[in-house]
C-alpha cells in the first residue's frame, strides 16, 4: 500500500478504537454494546494489518494472545455470573451491584461489566479468525 | 422456588471448556484432570437428581420474577423427562471422556478437543434444561457448532467433507427451526414453552391450519437433526468420520437430544398430540427403521454400518412415539400410552449405551489395526478378547437378544403397537429386528472370527479405553433390570409421567 493509505489507516485506526471504546462502555444506555463495540475494536486492528501488510504485527504471536484473551474473557463472564449465586438475590447472573440513576454512565449494576467483557471477547474472536485466515494464506503461498 | 443445582449442568462444562486453554499454558496434565473431574462430577449430579428429585423443577437466572401472572420468558426446567435425559447425556459423556483420554493422543491439538467436547456437553445439557424456545434454539446451535468442529477434528479430506455436509444440513435445520419459532412467537407473543402451550390451547384452538404449518416446520428441522430418512444424508458421513469417542457421543446422545427429545417436548408437551402428526411421525419412524437397516447390511465400513443402525434404531423410538401420540389422540387406553412411552424412552437410553459401546469398540479396533474396512479384518478375537466380548454384548443388545437390554425395550414397543391396534407396525418392528441381527452377525463374523490377516502388527489397547468399554458392556446387561417396577419407578416413570401429562404439563410450570 502507498504511504498515503498507510498514514490514513494509522490515523483512522485510532479513531475507530476510541469509538469502539465509547460504544462498549455505553452499552447499557445506548444502542450498541459489547458485540457491536467488539466488532469495531477488532476492525481497528484489522485496518492496520490490511494497510501495513502482514509484517507489521508479529501475527503468529498475536494469534496465541488473542485466543488466550478470548478464553479469559469468557471465563470472567462465567465467574461474574457465578458470583451472583453468593450475593444479592442469590441467583446465577444475579445483578447485585448498585443500580444507580438510569441514563448515567455508572448505572445498571453488573451489566456494564458484562458489556466490557463481551466486547473483549468479540474483538478477540474476530481478530483471531482474521489472523487465522491471513496466516493460512501466508503459509499456503509459501 | 429455586433449584440452583440445575445451573451447574450448564455452568460447569462451560467453565471447564474455557479453563482448559488457559490451564494448558503452564500445566500439561491439567486438561486431562479437568476432563475427568468435571465429567465425573456432572455424572454424579445427574444421578443424584434422578434418584432424589428436588422439590422445585424450575430455575430462573438473573433474579427475575413473574409479574401480573405473566411467566418469566427465559428459565430452566428440570422435570422428569429433562432429568432422565441429563442422566443419559452425562453418564455417556463421562464414559466417552475417559475413553478419549488415551484415544486423542493420536491427534495434534488435543486441547481443542477437550474444549470442544465440553462445549458440546454444555449445549446438550442446555437443550434438555431449556424451558423456553430461545434457550432451546441457542443451545441447539452451541451443540451443533461444537459437533461440526469435532467431526472435522482429524482434518483429513473425508472428515472435512463430512463436516461441511453436516454443517450445510444443520444450517438448513436451524433455518426451519427458527422459522417455526418465529411463527409461534407471532401467534402467542411469548417464548416460554409452558406459556405457549396455554396460549395455543386458549386462543388458537380453531387455527389448526396455521398450527399444522408451524408443526411441519419444526418437524422438518428436527428430522434433519435426528437424521430421519429422507433427511439422513449427513449422518453416515459425519458419524463415521469423527473420532470414535465423538462418534459415540454423536450417535449415542446428540441425535437423541437434538432430535427425539425436542420432538417429545414440542409435539407432546407444547402442542396437543394430533392424529395427523402422529401419523407423520410414525411413518417417518417406520421408513427410517426399515431403510436404515437395509442400508446397513450393505455397508463394509464398520463405522458407517453402525451409523446406519443409528438411523434404524432411532426409527424404532420415533415409531413408538408416533404410536403413543396416535393412541392419545384417538382416546385409547392410558396403559397402552404408558407402555409405548416407556418402551420408547427405555430404547433411547439402551441405544445410548449399546451404540456408544459399539462405536467405542470400533475405535478400539481402529486404534489397534488402523483400518475400519470389515474385509481387511479377521481373526481379531485372538488378539483383542476384551474388545470382542464388549462388542459381542453390544451386538446382541442392539439385535434384541435376551437377556440384554435391547430385547426388553423393543419388546415393549412391539407389544404396545399390537395393543394399540397397529399390527403392520408391530410386524415391521419384528422384521427389522431380524435384519439387525443379520447385519451384526456379519460384523462379528468378519471382524473377530475367521483367519487372521498375515503380517498384521497390532497396537495394545490402553487401560482407560478398556475400562470404559467394560463398564458399558456391564451396563448393557444391568439395564435389563429396568423391567422391574421398583427400578423403573426411579429411572423411567418420572419421565413417562411428564409425557403422559401432555399439555397439562404447562399448567404445572406456570
Compute how many other C-beta atoms are within 10 angstroms of the C-beta atom of residue B311.
27
pLDDT for the residue numbered A27? 83
CA neighbor of A118 nearest in space, from A15, A18, A24: A24
Sequence-ordered alpha helix ranges (H) in A53-110 = 59-83
Q: Which residues in A lie closer than 8 A to residue B11 (C-beta atoms)?
A: 78, 81-82, 92
What is the DSSP annotation of B240-258? HHS-HHHHHHIIIIIHIII
Which residue has 407423520 as its cell numbers? B280
For A65-88, write each residue's pLDDT tens digit.
Answer: 878 888 888 889 888 888 888 876
Instruction: Say if residues B141 and B221 touch (Cβ distance below 8 Å).
Output: no
- Give the pLDDT score at A95: 79
**Closest residue, chain B, to A69 (C-alpha):** B22
Q: What is the mean pLDDT of residues B62-72?
A: 80
- Rounded to whole angstroms, the maximal C-alpha distance in chain A is 58
Question: What is the complex's ipTM, to 2 decimals?
Answer: 0.86
- CB contact (8 A) between residue B18 and residue A67: no
Give CA–CA dist B398/B313, Å, rounded.
8
Residue B316 has pLDDT above 60, yes or no: yes
Comparing CA positions, the residue from B125, B114, B126, B129 lying closest to residue B90 is B125
Mean pLDDT, chain B, rounded, equals 88
- With an 8 Å Cβ cutoff, are B63 and A88 in contact? yes
Report chain A residues whose CB lies below 8 A from the CB of B30: none
User: Who among A74, A88, A91 is closest to B60 (CB)?
Assistant: A91
CB contact under 8 A, A78 and B21: no
Longest dimension (CA), chain B: 77
Helix (H, G, I), strand (E, B) or coil at B404: coil
- Please give the C-alpha separations between residue B186 and each of B198, B199, B210, B219, B485, in angstroms, as whole numbers: 15, 12, 11, 18, 44
Tell me the H-state helices in B370-462.
380-383, 385-399, 405-419, 423-448
Q: CA angle at residue B357 from B346 to B322, to 5 degrees?
A: 30
| Chain A closest-CA separation from residue B389 CA (Å) | 42
C-alpha cell of residue A33: 454494546
Q: What are the helix (H) ranges across B298-402?
A: 302-329, 334-369, 380-383, 385-399
Helices (H), B130-156: 133-151
Q: Decide: A43 and A14 in contact? Cβ < 8 Å.
A: no
Alpha carbon distance A133, A131 (integer Å): 5
Residues 6+ apart with CB under 8 A from B94: B39, B40, B42, B43
At residue A98, φ and ψ (nearest 5 deg) are -60, 140
Interface contact flag, B14 A84, Cβ < 8 Å: no
Question: DSSP label at B1?
Answer: -
Query: Angle CA(B335)–CA(B337)–CA(B340) in degrees, nearest 5?
Result: 110
All structural domains of chain B with their residue ranges: 5-509
Cell numbers standing for residue B354 = 449399546
pLDDT of residue A57: 67
Alpha-carbon distances, residue A107 vs A78, A89, A111, B65, B311 (angstroms) = 21, 18, 8, 21, 53
Q: A81–B11: do the CB atoms touch at under 8 Å?
A: yes
Q: Which helix (H) or strand (E) holds B59?
A: strand B58-59
pLDDT bin (cut points 50, 70, 90) of residue B426 is very high
pLDDT score, position B207? 77
Domain borders along chain A are: 3-141
Predicted pLDDT of residue A65: 80
Contact B81, B264 (CB under 8 A): yes
Say what the pLDDT of residue B492 is: 87
Q: For B172-228, how does the pLDDT look when each residue is reduced to its tens digit (9 = 90+)?
A: 999 999 999 999 999 888 888 888 888 888 887 777 888 888 999 999 999 999 988
Residue for grid cell 415409531: B319
User: Given pLDDT bands bounded at 50, 70 and 90, which one contains residue B2?
Assistant: low
| DSSP letter (8 states) at residue B105 | G
- Among chain A residues, the shortest Cα distance to B6 is held by A92
Q: What's the rounded mean pLDDT across residues B372-397?
A: 86
Indicate the burial class of B464 (C-beta count within 10 angstroms; 0-12, 13-18, 19 or more): middle
Is the model more confident about B379 or about B292?
A: B292
Task: Tell me which chain B residue has its CA closest to the CA of residue A75.
Answer: B18
Distance CA B71, CA B54 (A): 21
Burial class of residue B283 in the structure, from the number of CB atoms within 10 Å of its CB (0-12 exposed, 13-18 middle, 19+ buried): middle
Assess whether pLDDT exceeds 50 at residue B1. Answer: no
Contacts of B59 in chain A (CB under 8 A): 91-92
Alpha-carbon distance B193 to nearest alpha carbon in chain A (angstroms):
21
Other CB atoms within 10 A of residue B139 CB: 22
Q: What is the mean pLDDT of residues B53-74?
A: 81
Contact check, Cβ <8 Å, A93/B61 = yes
User: pLDDT digits over B460-495, tens only?
Assistant: 888 888 999 999 999 988 888 888 888 888 888 888
* Position B108 pLDDT exceeds 60: yes
Query: Is the pLDDT at B75 greater than 80, yes or no?
Result: yes
Region of residue B78 (phi > 0: left; psi between -120 and 50: alpha; otherwise: beta): beta
Nearest Cα neighbor of B367 from B243, B235, B450, B467 is B243
What's the gap in Å between the CA of B61 and the closest CA on chain A?
Answer: 5
- Percent residues over pLDDT 70 in chain A: 93
Give B486: exposed, middle or buried? Use CB within 10 Å, 0-12, 13-18, 19+: exposed
Q: Which triple of cell numbers denotes residue B274?
A: 394430533
3-state SS, residue B26 = helix
The pLDDT, as a whole number, for residue B28 is 81
Strand, coil or helix: A95: coil
Which whole-number Å values give the CA distances from B443 to B90, B179, B305, B313, B375, in the listed order?
29, 42, 9, 17, 10
What 3-state class would DSSP assign to B58?
strand
The pLDDT confidence band at residue B165, using thresholds 50, 70 and 90, is very high
Residue B183 CB neighbours (<10 A): 17
Lowest mean per-residue pLDDT among A91-95, B192-196, B253-257, B427-431 = A91-95
Interface test with B, best of A64, A78, A82 (most B CBs within 10 A): A78
Residue B503 has pLDDT above 80, yes or no: no
**Cβ-Cβ contacts under 8 Å, B12 against chain A:** none
Amino acid at each position: 500500500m502507498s504511504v498515503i493509505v498507510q498514514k490514513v489507516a494509522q490515523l483512522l485506526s485510532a479513531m475507530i478504537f476510541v469509538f469502539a471504546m465509547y460504544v462498549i462502555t455505553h452499552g447499557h444506555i445506548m444502542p450498541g454494546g459489547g458485540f457491536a463495540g467488539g466488532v469495531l475494536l477488532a476492525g481497528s486492528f484489522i485496518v492496520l494489518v490490511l494497510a501495513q501488510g502482514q509484517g507489521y504485527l508479529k501475527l503468529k504471536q498475536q494469534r496465541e494472545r488473542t485466543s488466550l484473551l478470548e478464553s479469559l474473557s469468557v471465563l470472567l463472564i462465567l465467574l461474574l455470573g457465578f458470583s451472583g449465586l453468593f450475593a444479592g438475590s442469590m441467583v446465577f447472573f444475579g445483578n447485585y451491584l448498585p443500580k444507580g440513576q438510569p441514563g448515567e454512565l455508572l448505572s445498571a449494576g453488573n451489566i456494564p461489566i458484562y458489556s466490557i467483557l463481551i466486547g473483549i471477547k468479540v474483538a478477540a474472536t474476530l481478530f483471531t479468525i482474521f489472523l487465522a485466515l491471513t496466516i493460512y494464506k501466508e503459509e499456503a503461498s509459501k | 422456588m429455586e433449584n440452583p443445582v440445575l445451573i451447574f449442568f450448564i455452568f460447569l462444562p462451560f467453565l471447564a471448556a474455557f479453563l482448559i486453554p488457559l490451564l494448558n499454558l503452564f500445566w500439561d496434565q491439567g486438561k486431562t484432570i479437568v476432563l475427568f473431574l468435571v465429567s465425573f462430577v456432572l455424572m454424579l449430579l445427574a444421578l443424584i437428581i434422578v434418584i432424589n428429585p428436588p422439590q422445585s423443577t424450575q430455575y430462573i437466572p438473573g433474579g427475575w420474577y413473574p409479574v401480573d401472572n405473566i411467566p418469566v420468558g427465559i428459565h430452566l426446567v428440570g422435570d422428569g423427562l429433562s432429568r432422565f435425559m441429563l442422566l443419559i447425556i452425562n453418564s455417556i459423556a463421562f464414559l466417552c471422556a475417559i475413553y478419549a483420554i488415551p484415544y486423542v493422543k493420536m491427534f495434534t491439538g488435543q486441547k481443542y478437543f477437550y474444549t470442544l467436547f465440553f462445549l458440546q456437553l454444555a449445549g446438550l445439557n442446555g437443550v434438555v434444561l431449556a424451558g423456553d424456545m430461545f434457550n432451546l434454539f441457542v443451545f441447539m446451535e452451541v451443540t451443533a457448532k461444537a459437533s461440526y468442529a469435532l467431526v472435522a477434528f482429524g482434518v483429513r479430506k473425508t472428515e472435512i467433507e463430512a463436516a461441511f455436509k453436516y454443517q450445510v444440513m444443520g444450517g438448513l435445520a436451524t433455518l426451519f427451526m427458527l422459522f417455526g419459532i418465529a411463527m409461534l412467537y407471532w401467534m402467542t407473543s411469548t417464548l416460554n414453552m409452558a406459556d405457549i402451550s396455554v396460549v395455543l390451547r386458549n386462543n388458537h384452538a380453531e387455527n389448526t391450519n396455521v398450527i399444522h404449518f408451524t408443526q411441519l416446520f419444526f418437524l422438518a428441522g428436527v428430522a434433519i437433526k435426528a437424521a430421519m430418512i429422507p433427511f439422513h444424508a449427513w449422518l453416515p458421513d459425519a458419524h463415521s468420520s469423527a473420532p470414535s469417542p465423538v462418534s459415540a457421543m454423536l450417535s449415542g446422545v446428540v441425535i437423541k437430544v437434538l432430535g427425539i427429545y425436542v420432538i417429545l417436548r414440542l409435539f407432546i408437551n407444547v402442542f396437543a398430540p394430533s392424529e395427523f402428526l402422529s401419523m407423520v411421525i410414525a411413518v417417518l419412524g417406520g421408513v427410517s427403521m426399515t431403510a436404515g437397516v437395509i442400508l446397513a447390511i450393505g455397508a463394509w465400513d464398520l463405522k458407517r454400518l453402525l451409523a446406519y443402525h443409528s438411523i434404524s434404531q432411532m426409527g424404532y423410538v420415533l415409531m413408538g412415539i408416533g404410536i403413543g401420540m396416535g393412541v392419545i389422540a384417538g382416546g385409547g387406553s392410558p396403559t397402552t400410552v404408558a407402555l409405548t412411552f416407556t418402551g420408547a424412552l427405555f430404547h433411547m437410553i439402551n441405544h445410548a449405551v449399546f451404540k456408544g459401546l459399539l462405536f467405542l469398540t470400533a475405535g478400539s479396533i481402529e486404534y489397534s489395526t488402523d483400518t475400519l474396512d470389515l474385509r481387511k479384518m479377521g481373526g481379531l478375537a485372538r488378539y483383542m478378547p476384551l474388545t470382542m466380548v464388549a462388542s459381542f454384548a453390544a451386538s446382541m443388545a442392539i439385535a434384541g437378544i435376551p437377556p440384554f437390554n435391547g430385547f426388553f425395550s423393543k419388546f415393549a414397543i412391539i407389544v404396545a403397537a399390537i395393543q394399540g391396534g397397529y399390527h403392520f407396525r408391530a410386524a415391521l418392528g419384528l422384521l427389522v429386528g431380524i435384519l439387525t441381527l443379520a447385519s451384526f452377525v456379519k460384523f462379528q463374523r468378519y471382524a473377530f472370527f475367521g483367519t487372521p490377516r498375515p503380517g498384521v502388527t497390532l497396537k495394545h489397547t490402553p487401560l482407560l479405553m478398556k475400562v470404559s468399554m467394560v463398564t458399558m458392556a456391564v451396563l448393557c446387561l444391568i439395564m435389563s433390570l429396568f423391567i422391574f417396577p421398583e427400578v423403573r419407578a426411579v429411572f423411567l416413570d418420572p419421565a413417562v409421567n411428564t409425557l403422559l401429562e401432555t399439555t397439562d404439563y404447562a399448567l404445572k410450570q406456570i
